[in-house]
Structure 1
Amino acid sequence: MHVNSSDREIARSKASMTCTVLVVDDDPACRDEYCDALENLGYTAKSAASAPDALQQIVESPDIGIVITDLEMPTMDGMSLLSEISQRFSPNRPIVTLVLTGHSSLQVATKAMQAQASDLLSKPVSAEQLADALRRASAHYFATAYRFQITTLTTRIDPPASRDRASNQGSRPTEEDLQAFTSMLLKFQHNKYKFFDPAVLMGPSWEILLDITDATLRGEAVPASSASASTHVPLSTALRHINNLVEAGLVRRWTDPNDKRRKLLKLEPHTAIAMQRYLETAWKLQPQIG
């Protein structure tokens, strides 16, 4: 697997915002090949020779955020590993799984998706395919990590005990609670302007961009009508803001090949990277609050 110079350039720009990637395969040659490719792309890589070894490493290494696993392994196969990760780890920490298989089929893909795998790659995997899959996985990881962080912060500001007291006694948040929450909102608001031009993100443009980001993280395009509906403004106003995002080079728009009446939207690659950086920085803001 050869990694070209453009992939390395992208990797250098992403190196500071990637989590550790764990490669799980019982074939040592495959493990070495993929670990080398990951490191050439700027990712920190670890490897495991079996599913039990992988589970142990995930327990011991909270920095592992992406797992790439083969399906055909002795003792415990890749599907079982996916199920274990989904049930044991995903509810409590951000972790994204990808599947490598030499026998891709609709049945395999369906089982992998049911086990919450975010991507399925058919062997042999090219450097370009691996790089694209990891970009999507990284974006998904940081978006998930961001949601975990927000949940943690919300719990800290308004812990369950306080919520119970509030429901039982009719109490309201204290001034300190509201000040901390306001500080959090302001920090998130100011943070986005480090990565995007404020003039472009006026009005509902930010809501539209977040909606397209959500779809992009799932590896999907979003219809322009759906992105417009994510706002609370007239359709004509929302479409005007979509035009602004397209003209600013943040969003790609094209005609749905299956329905010529419909326009599809997706983040441009550099926008996806900027959103990853925004999400990571926003995630790191939490310890500074309150």
Structure 2
Amino acid sequence: MSLLAQLKILVVDDTTTSRLLLRDALETIGFRNISVAANGEEAMKMMTTSPCHFIISDMNMPKMDGLQLLKAVRTHKVFARTPFMILTGNADRNVLEEGRKLGLNNYLNKPFTPEDLKKALEAVVGRLQ
């Protein structure tokens, strides 16, 4: 079974359009097991009931932003090592530095293409077949 078929991806974004675009890009790459959450709190609830293998989160969200979600994920024993990528419209150096301290695996600037997303994912998990 290919990595694409095995990986369960969690997409976290407060904007419906962004969630749909990201899901479409992941499906274009070949992923089929994709869950979505509208914010960090919802994502944490989903992770505790049905953990995913990879989290892709928007940076700017109400309630719990991408870095707060990353911190919450990293402090949870069961899924602390889950690969985590942040999407941002503004790759602020301080945000990325803080993310790296928290264990951020990668980031991707918006807007992006499916090929950009694939390269960012492959930088973390290796070649996707």
- Give unpaired runs (5+ residues) of structure 1: 1-11, 140-271, 275-290
In 1, Cα distance between the equivalents of 2:84 and 2:116?
15
What fraction of aligned residue pairs are identical, expressed as a percent?
29
In 2, Cα distance between the equivalents of 1:35 and 1:116?
24
Aligned AA (2:124):
A
For the pair 1:136 / 2:123, whether they are aligned, the reply is yes
**What pairs up with 1:1-290 in 2 under 5 angstroms?**
14-16=3-5, 18-43=6-31, 44-62=33-51, 64-89=52-77, 94-139=81-126, 272=127
Q: What RMSD in Å do the two structures reach over aligned CA positions?
A: 2.1
1:84 positional shift: 0.3
Aligned AA (1:126):
T
In 2, Cα distance between the equivalents of 1:59 and 1:125?
29
Residues 93-141 of structure 1 deviation map (CA, whole Å, 9 limit, x = unaligned): 64100000111121111011111111011111122110111222333xx
In 1, Cα distance between the equivalents of 2:79 and 2:96?
25
Aligned AA (1:132):
K
TM-score by length of 1: 0.41
Contact 2:73/2:79 (CA < 8 Å) preserved in 1? no
Contact 1:66/1:137 (CA < 8 Å) preserved in 2? no
Choose between structure 1 and 2: higher helix proportion: 1
Q: Which has the higher contact order (CA 8 A, sep 6+)?
A: 2
Higher Cα radius of gyration: 1
- Give unpaired runs (5+ residues) of structure 2: none
Quickly say closer, same or farther: Cα 1:135–1:76, change in 2 above 3 A.
same
Quickly say closer, same or farther: Cα 1:15–1:35, change in 2 above 3 A.
same
Quickly say closer, same or farther: Cα 1:76–1:13, change in 2 above 3 A.
closer
In 1, Cα distance between the equivalents of 2:3 and 2:82?
18
In 2, Cα distance between the equivalents of 1:49 and 1:94?
22
In 2, Cα distance between the equivalents of 1:112 and 1:58?
19
In 2, Cα distance between the equivalents of 1:34 and 1:80?
21
1:24 positional shift: 0.4
